[in-house]
A and B are shown apart, each in its own frame.
Chain A
Amino acid sequence: MQNTSLPVDIRSIEAFLFREAALLDEKRFDEWLTLFTHDCHYWVPLSAAQKNSRDELSIIDDDHDMLKVRIHWLSHPKNHAQAIPSRTVHYVSNILLLDHDPDQGEQRVSSALQVAEYRDGSQVLHAGRCTHVLRSVGHKLKIVSKRIDLVNSESFLGHLSIPL
């Protein structure tokens, strides 16, 4: 078990994020789930600059189990919200390495995320700032946490089926 590690370079991190985006656009949700650690946190806050998800409401506040349930629902044949499936493209840009914790082997990465979603006659653009914490596990990168601060998180939203 490594106690210290060198930070992963920006190009490898970009490649990882682009691959994550592609998995989502291709609806390979089971594979997408394998990118997350078992202690992961997938969080879409409700309020701007929200501090925590225990005491305040969130749009999504999933641990690994709940994320599993969500994906199971998403692909379920009796799902109504995706009976007419969405088509998406995830744009990941403005990627910055924020900091690196060599003891944990973790890096915090900031990016701008836009997801264009077309479903049943209407096209929606979801947009926000994304913060990943990535952990080096062996030679692979895994997602410890993914936080998406949507610019319109406090507005009246339509139903949000697709993983951001």
Chain B
Amino acid sequence: MSNPPSIDIERLAREDRVHRDVYIDDAVFKLEMKRIFYRAWLFVGHESQVPDDGCYISTLLADQPVIMVRHNDAIRVLFNRCPHRGARVCEANSGKAKPMRCPYHGWVFDTDGRFINSALHEGYRNNGKDSADLNMVNVPRVVNHRGFVFASLDENGPAFEQALGSMLPAIDNLVDRSPTGELELVPGIHRHICPGNWKLQLENIQDAAHPPFIHAASNEAGTKGRLDEFSMRAEDVMYGNRNAGDSLKESGLGVFPYGHSYLSSIPIRLKVTPEAERVYLESLERRHGRKQAASILAESRHFSIIYPQIMLQSHFRTMKVLRPVSVDKTEISVYVFRLKGAPNDYDHVAVQFANATNSPASIILQDDLVTFANIQQGLLASAGDWVLFANGRNEKTDAMGPATGKGFTELPMRNQYAAWRHYMSLDTGSGK
């Protein structure tokens, strides 16, 4: 059992196993929020969500209410908190407000958080109070990488390049697939609850061994020959998933420091008409040249984990972002991207794929979701303390990667816990 306030990190996460407390202990969860989520680089939003000056979205980074707002062409991320009495300045999920006005007492702020005016002069303007206290607070570090806005709640954490540099090629590959080098969000964001600890989701995503068991029903339901005729997308999805198990035995994966990993190709292709493909290829070659265009399309990072929060499929223009809510509950948001300049077919298949795989009604995803609840309940049993990740352990791994593996290896999980140990062992510098 854990022993608040001191938690023995090395005891909880060993080389090839972790203690069940990491999934069920509230004290561990609270420490994870402080030492991992308040420090790591987190995805806030995509710049296409705030197209014009003054446009904003309200969101949560871990449990922190923030807004992402366009301020004179640059993107800012501010804590959504009026310095007066603590109300959220932006009440709606999204909008356009320049300047921004707090709903409670009408304090007015510019879109970079700078205090402009208020109706209450006494006590705030004339009593020698430092006027810097009246500004909304900016989140300490923000980086806009090719439209993907990241922020860190801690000014002292690892630098962006240091922490995420190994995974930026996965984002770049997605952006480079657009003939104009630009992305836009497809309208709508799939949202579902993972009824389990946030780490279960990351441990499942690159787990090659479970599809034949967990996804047996959807694999067989989607089998050609059992039904009279198949629409394109049903065949694509189920066929790909059924064959994923076989090809994953052979496909490789790579892990990097800070908990990141990627899984290389599996045999799912989003089919478009030959004409659409021809037009797309031509426009991509015009932008990148033939060789580079071929290389971009052949990129084999099928599924990337950008620890602790993002699961990205560059080929399918889909990005899942997790947010821990409590020790046994996680929110998942799924973004789908349009490739600007590509024929509409490309958007349509990405939408179909996302609906089939990432909707809360997805017949593939649902069997994973109940499994998370299943594990969360099973771990309450005091029959054994350890969760095992020993598969493939003969492979060379440093404490913090990089390394490669194959097949049913549980290397990505071990790599995640190496990062977990690293983050959890560092004292919080900023005092949050």
A→B interface (CB under 8 Å): 44, 46-47, 50, 53-61, 63, 65-66, 68-70, 72-74, 76-81, 83, 154-161
Known: A66-B233, A81-B366, A159-B369. A58 touches B188 (CB 8 A): yes
Choose one: A46, A60, A61, A69; the contact of B221 (CB below 8 Å).
A69
Q: Is the CB of A57 within 8 A of B217?
A: no
Q: Is the CB of B193 within 8 A of A81?
A: no
Q: Is the CB of B370 within 8 A of A83?
A: yes
Q: Is the CB of A160 within 8 A of B189?
A: no
Taking the closest CB of chain B, its distance from the CB of A81, in whole angstroms, is: 4
B406 within 8 A of A: no
B227 within 8 A of A: yes
Interface string of B229-246 (1 = CB under 8 A from A): 111011000100000000
Contacts of A70 in B (CB 8 A): 221, 363
Contacts of A79 in B (CB 8 A): 217, 367
B355 within 8 A of A: yes
B→A interface (CB under 8 Å): 186-193, 195, 214, 216-218, 220-222, 226-227, 229-231, 233-234, 238, 331-332, 336, 344, 347-348, 351-352, 354-356, 359-361, 363, 365-367, 369-371, 374
Taking the closest CB of chain B, its distance from the CB of A82, in whole angstroms, is: 9
Q: Is the CB of B187 within 8 A of A56?
A: yes
Contacts of B231 in A (CB 8 A): 63, 65-66
For the complex, give the distance between the alpha carbons of A40 and B21 in Å. Answer: 49
Q: Is the CB of A157 within 8 A of B221?
A: no
Taking the closest CB of chain A, its distance from the CB of B301, in whole angstroms, is: 23
Taking the closest CB of chain B, its distance from the CB of A155, in whole angstroms, is: 7
Choose one: A57, A74, A157; the contact of B192 (CB below 8 Å).
A157
For the complex, give the distance between the alpha carbons of A156 and B215 in Å. Answer: 23
User: Which residue of chain B is the closest to A160 with respect to CB atoms?
Assistant: B361
A-B contact pairs, 27 of them (CB 8 A): A46-B189, A47-B188, A55-B186, A55-B351, A56-B188, A56-B351, A59-B359, A60-B361, A61-B355, A65-B230, A66-B234, A69-B221, A69-B222, A69-B234, A73-B363, A74-B363, A76-B220, A79-B367, A81-B363, A81-B366, A81-B370, A154-B191, A157-B193, A159-B192, A159-B361, A159-B370, A160-B361
Known: A57-B336, A72-B221. A81 touches B187 (CB 8 A): no
Taking the closest CB of chain B, its distance from the CB of A51, in whole angstroms, is: 9
Q: Is the CB of B188 within 8 A of A81?
A: no
Q: Is the CB of A157 within 8 A of B191?
A: yes
Contacts of A77 in B (CB 8 A): 217
User: Which residue of chain B is the closest to A63 with respect to CB atoms?
Assistant: B231
Contacts of A61 in B (CB 8 A): 352, 355
Known: A55-B347, A80-B370. A65 touches B229 (CB 8 A): yes
Known: A55-B351, A60-B361. A156 touches B191 (CB 8 A): yes
Contacts of B217 in A (CB 8 A): 73, 76-80
A-B CB contacts (within 8 Å), total count:
125
Q: Is the CB of B191 within 8 A of A57?
A: no
User: Which residue of chain A is the closest to B334 with respect to CB atoms?
Assistant: A57
User: Which residue of chain A is the closest to B213 with respect to CB atoms?
Assistant: A78
Choose one: A63, A74, A78, A158; the contact of B360 (CB below 8 Å).
A158
Contacts of A56 in B (CB 8 A): 186-188, 351
User: Which residue of chain A is the closest to B323 with respect to CB atoms?
Assistant: A156
Choose one: A44, A46, A72, A156; the contact of B331 (CB below 8 Å).
A156
User: Which residue of chain A is the closest to B192 with respect to CB atoms?
Assistant: A157
Q: Is the CB of B371 within 8 A of A47?
A: no
Known: A65-B227, A65-B230. A160 touches B351 (CB 8 A): no
Contacts of B374 in A (CB 8 A): 80
Taking the closest CB of chain A, its distance from the CB of B189, in whole angstroms, is: 7
For the complex, give the distance between the alpha carbons of A60 and B363 in Å. Answer: 10
Known: A66-B234, A68-B227. A160 touches B187 (CB 8 A): no
Taking the closest CB of chain A, its distance from the CB of B343, in whole angstroms, is: 13
Q: Is the CB of A54 within 8 A of B348?
A: yes
Contacts of A58 in B (CB 8 A): 188, 351, 355, 359
Choose one: B189, B195, B229, B230; the contact of A158 (CB below 8 Å).
B195
Choose one: B216, B238, B365; the contact of A159 (CB below 8 Å).
B365
Q: Is the CB of B214 within 8 A of A80?
A: yes
For the complex, give the distance between the alpha carbons of A131 and B354 in Å. Answer: 24
For the complex, give the distance between the alpha carbons of A109 and B240 in Å. Answer: 38
Taking the closest CB of chain A, its distance from the CB of B209, in whole angstroms, is: 15
Which 6 interchain pairs have the tightest Cβ spacing? Answer: A57-B188, A76-B217, A72-B221, A73-B221, A81-B366, A78-B216
Given contacts A46-B359, A81-B363, 7 further A-B contacts (CB under 8 A): A46-B189, A57-B336, A58-B351, A60-B355, A65-B230, A73-B217, A159-B361
Contacts of B238 in A (CB 8 A): 69
